[in-house]
Every structure is written in C-alpha cells, then in structure tokens.
Amino acid sequence: MPHRRMYRVLILAISAALLLVSVRFGFADAWLDQYALPAMSQSEATPDPAGSGSLEASSGADSGADMPIAPKPVVLSNRVTEYHISVTLQDDGTLTGEQTVTWRNPGRKAVSDIYLHLYPNAFSPGSTFIKESGGQLRGDRMTPGSYGSMNLTALETEEGETLLPRLRYVQPDDGNTSDKTLASFRLPKPIQPGEKTTLVMKFTVKLPQVFARMGKAGDFVMAGQWFPKIAVYEPAGTRGRTAEGWNAHQYHGNSEFYSDFGIYSVKINVPAADKVAATGFQTRMPTVANGRKVYQFYADDVHDFGWSASPSFQYAVESFSSEGVPGVRVQLYLDPSQKNLKDRYLHAAKSALSLLGQWYGDYPYSTLSIVVPPADASGAGGMEYPTLVTAAAAKSASPGYELERTVVHEIAHQYWYGMVASNEFEEAWLDEGFTSYTEDKLMAAIYGVHSNNTVEASYLTDPEPLKLDSWRYNGSDGYAENVYLRGKLVLTAIEKRVGEKTMSKIMRAYFQKYRFKHPSTADFQKVVENVTREKWNDFFSAYVYRGQMSDFSVASVDSRPASGGGYVSNILLRRNGGSAEPVTVLFRFADGSTVTKTWNGVHDREQLQVKHPEPLLYVAVDPSQAVVLDNLRFNNYLKAEVPEKARTRLDIGLSKIIDGLIGTLAW
C-alpha cells in the first residue's frame, strides 16, 4: 500500500509540473479545452440574447455561434507545426498579434535556417504580387493607396534570445528586392532530425481595403494569410524530391499557398459586437469585458487558419451527418441583405458534404463554416481555408446558380486543398483543376446543371503545361484557363477513356492514399496506372507536361465515280496534337445513309478509302464530341471534293442562275 500511494503522489506531481510548464506556451488551454461542456449543455446554460442577429435554422438551434466543442484525440497528419496565437483587431483595422510556434524537423539532416512567409507584405508598394497582378485579381481591383503590410516586431527563441537582427528578406523567384513576402534567419544552433524548436514572435498587420482574400470593408474583416507562417520543409521523396530542403516562394500575382499540417490554438480579440467565424471550433465561451470580446478557437491536422469578423453577420447553424460525414456543424455567417437565402446556402453545403463523403472519403472535422461577405468586399469572396469557406459577395438579393456553384466549389476544396494539400505554388492544377472537376460533378448530381465541355474547350486558345509554377503562366487569364479549366478537362478526358465508374475509383484511391501527404502530379499518374492497369505516359506527357490540346481533323476528301459503278472516296485524317486515342469517323452519302468507322489515332495521319453506290457528301471525325480536349472543332468536318469537270459545269450553272437573278432586279 505505501508503494502504491507514493506512486500515485509521484504521478500527480509530474502531471501538475507538466501543466505549469505548459502554461508559458499556451498548451494548458488546449489541455483544459478537452473538458469543455457539451454543446447542448452550453446552449441550455447560455441562451441566445434577443437581437443577437441569429437566424433560426431548421434544426431549431439558437445562436450557437459561441458554443464550444471538445477536440477529438485522433492524429491524422504529421503535425510538423504547432501555433499558439493571440491576435487583436484594433479599432483602426490593424491587427496586433503574438505567437509561439513550435516546428519539428521532418527531414534526415540538421536544419540551420528557417523560412517565414510574411504574406501581408504582398500589399505593399513594389511587391511582386502588385507588379504581376497589376493591382487586380479575378476582376476585383485594389483600392488606390490602400496598402497593407506586416511588421515583425519581435523574433526570439524560447530562452529569450532575439533573432530579429538575423532576419533577411529573400526573393528566390524573381530577385525583386522590394518584395518582403518571404524571409529567412539563421538559428543559434541547428535543429537535428526529429527535434523541435520553439520561436516567439510579435507582429503588426495593416489590413488593406478588402482585396485578394484579405482586408477590411466597413466593419467587415477578412483575415486570410495574416500571421507569420513557417514554410514547408520537404523530406527527400516528397513530391519527387531527391534531396530534402525548403520549398519557399514569394507571394505572386497568380499563386496561392502551401503549408505543413499542424495544430492551431488561436485567441481572437474583437469589438464586443463582432461575431467571428474561423477555422476549427470554439473551445470555450467568449469572454466579454471593456467593450471587447475574446474568442478561443482550436484546429488540428490543418495547414492554415483563416477568420472573419463582422457585427452584421446573420448566424445560422445545422448539425449534419451522413455516409462519410460522421458529424459536423454547418455554420452560416450571412450578410443581412441575403438573410432570405439561408436555406439555399445550407442545402448546398450539406448536399456537397454528403456527396464528397460518399465519393472520396470521410470529412474528419467537426465544423464547416460559410462566410458570405458584403457587396463591397467581393475580393474576400470565393476562397477556401481549412473548415472555413467564403461564398461570393452578397451583390444580389436573388442570385442564380452562381450562389450554389461557388459554395460547392469552395467546399470541394476542403478535400483537394484542405486534406490532400497540394503545392499550389508549383502544381496548382492538383487543387484547382481537381476542385473544378468535382464542382461540375456536384452541380450535376445536386441540381442537374451540366457544363458544356465542347464550348469550354474552345476557350483554350493558349494551352500551357499544367505542371508549371503559378507565376510562369501567360498572365492571370493563362493561369485561370489552364489551371482551372484545362486541368478540369484533362480529368474529364481521363473519365471519357476509362468510364465514370473507374474514374470514381481513381479519384477515391488518390484521395485515400494521399490525404495529409502533399502529393505530386507523378503520384496522381501512378494512381491512374494502378487502377486502370495501363501506362499513361503519352497522355500525361502531352496534356500535363507539354500543355497540348487534342486536334483531330479531316484534312482532305476526294470522291470520284468508280470504274465499275458507284463512287470511291479517299479521305486523309490527321491528329495535329495530343495523345493517341480511338475516335469515331462518320461518312454521310447522298442517299442519306451513313457509315461509321473507328480510327485508333495511333499515327498522326491516316488514309482511308470508302466505296459506296452513292456520292459521298461529307466526313466528320468525332461527331459525338467525345474528345473533350479537342479545342479546334472547325476542322472536324469537311465536304467531299467535287471532280474538276463537275465543278466547272456547276460553276457555269451557278453563273447563269446568278445572271438571271440580276436581270430580274434591273430597272
């Protein structure tokens, strides 16, 4: 008995010591948050006050915006980083924050330098982002003179040694010395493989007028890419790397982001009237004092943290579960001008989650928040963050299907951007192309709205490789056309070749194998080959790595009377671009009959001869438009050539007819 009592006392003492030590770094909050009251208990204890701006959802929930959730102790990712951040939204719209971030070396070599993304500096004069974008993004323009910035005011080790004098801005992509979106600094001592370092930082962010996913519009705030973020250190083998090292790029006019998975515990201090939507979930009730409100959010196995605040949000929440969605609170932060559209937003969100869970795999998070920005904050609309998305800005009280399309697109990002987490600097199509493909699938399945692939392919007049650094595309149009549209059509082309059922297996296998793994284009090709048991080198080489489009054409048709009766026609077909694939060829004759043949498309030209009792009228290659990557349809059809004698007789006959018509019009 004495030994057991001593053992219990020793365990309690060690636990207390660990808790006291962890307070310094904010870890105690995460521990205590495990014991938050259940949502129902909190709801009963603190009913929503009248006039809070909540919309009653179909579940009959009250405001719910302040109800905490307890984290689940399930580790899904490698959790390279751990952020504990405290940020205050000042009355003038600036953010002041401090963070303690712990980084673990995931490689096999010692690391001496750390790279930091300081994204808000993209909105400073002379930045690479402003130079490349011309101050506009997706049709939205930066307000003249409304600049943003990030000032790192403290950078220390956990022992208190300052590292700020070691900080230097680097521009590995373009050498623009005015760009301050990426910085590096030397550590006091190298971090050995598997070991960790903890850094303490303080920073100030000046928010621009809402533009490019970030800023302030009246009392609305969108905080995206708002804190100093450690870049990704890739071990050998990641995305095909032969040697480990940092993958660090500046913030460009076209590019989005790339980060490691980790844990985020974030305190957000805002004016008391504000409602806050954020990545993850609240772990405790907000505290209110001196006209301010402090929210506490927690998220794990995510690679970013975004938040938005406004006193005008109309809040609605519904609990939802289905196959692949064990249980999630769908939270809507709605602009008041669209309060009558609550059901459309919630229906789109729940329907998309349900299908994504069935098609690809589990949605493992407990929340999904949708923010609808006000009309004057369109630059904040249509963006994705882990467990939080923004819809299109509320410019219309009666929008068309663009409302649903934006919502399902951004929710699809939760899978390809959020969990698979591709490198959007270098392989953006693995996120945007996959998300656009999934968006089309969702819109067709939920609303019966189908995209016209033939028309969309015709827009692609300047195809470029899909595996290309985002800032190397031919402007923002080239980036959008290739990464979003052509990337989607490449996936659709694979589906056309293998069938919808096999394509579903490919997409699910890819998600299941590489979620939380940062895969590459080559990784996706391996999945395609494993599922289909075929080699796809020619396809990926043509459409992904060389940036080609398919172009099947009828080059010439020569039809003449045959010596033994009937007609003989010689047809030359060409494949002017793309990889080999079978294609249908249609022959129509003067008596209305048709003949179809299949050309395997292996060679870039094919000579065919057709004999028929009646004259050949025309030839059409791919008449059903099954080759979705063919963007030059005008050469898919050609009338039969007329023999010289017949052409002369026809010309004389037409001349006489025209002369006669002119004579009748003479005065």
pLDDT tens digits, 7-48: 454 544 544 444 444 444 333 333 333 223 333 333 333 333
Backbone angles phi, psi at 482, to 5 degrees: -85, -50
What confidence score (pLDDT) does residue 48 get?
38
Please report the pLDDT score of residue 633 as a whole number: 94
Return the structure tokens found at 491: 């996936």
Query: What does the mean pLDDT of the chain come to?
Result: 88
pLDDT at 643: 54
Q: How many CB atoms lie within 10 A of CB 162?
A: 11
Q: Which pLDDT score, from 0 to 100, does residue 55 have?
A: 61
With CA atoms as reference, report the closest residue to 352 among 439, 270, 282, 280: 439
pLDDT score of 24: 40
pLDDT at 21: 41
d(CA 374, CA 317): 19
- What percentage of the chain carries pLDDT values higher than 90? 82
User: Does the structure show a pLDDT above 80 at 613?
Assistant: yes
107 CB neighbour count, 10 Å cutoff: 20
* Identity of the amino acid at 644: E
Residue 13 has a pLDDT of 53
Q: What's the token pair of residue 145? A: 């003179």
Domains of the chain: 78-260 (no CATH), 435-544 (1.10.390.10), 551-653 (2.60.40)
The question of whether 484 is a catalytic residue gets the answer yes
Active-site entry in 384, 410, 426, 495? 410
Looking at residue 437, what is its pLDDT? 98
- Tell me which of 417, 484, 510, 543 is the catalytic residue: 484
pLDDT in tens, 586-601: 999 999 999 999 999 9
Question: Rounded to whole angstroms, how far apart are CA atoms 596 and 623?
Answer: 10
56 token code pair: 């009653």
Q: Would you call 111 helix, strand, or coil by DSSP?
A: strand
pLDDT at res. 139:
76
* pLDDT at res. 213: 87
Q: Give the per-residue pLDDT at 39.
A: 31
Q: Which of 178, 164, 174, 175 is nearest to 114 (CA)?
A: 164
Mean pLDDT of 318-331: 96
At 487, phi and psi to the nearest 5?
A: -60, -45
- Looking at residue 140, its pLDDT comes to 81
What pairs with residue 605 in β-bridges?
574
CA dihedral 267, 265, 94, 155 (to 10 degrees): 120
Query: How confident is the model at residue 138, as a pLDDT?
Result: 77
Answer for the pair 17, 24: CB distance below 8 angstroms, yes or no.
Answer: no
Alpha helices in 34-112 (DSSP H): 39-45
* Beta strand spans in 47-146 (E): 81-89, 94-104, 111-117, 136-137, 140-141
Annotated binding site for Zn(2+): 409, 413, 432
Mean pLDDT of 362-391: 97
Annotated binding site: 409, 413, 432
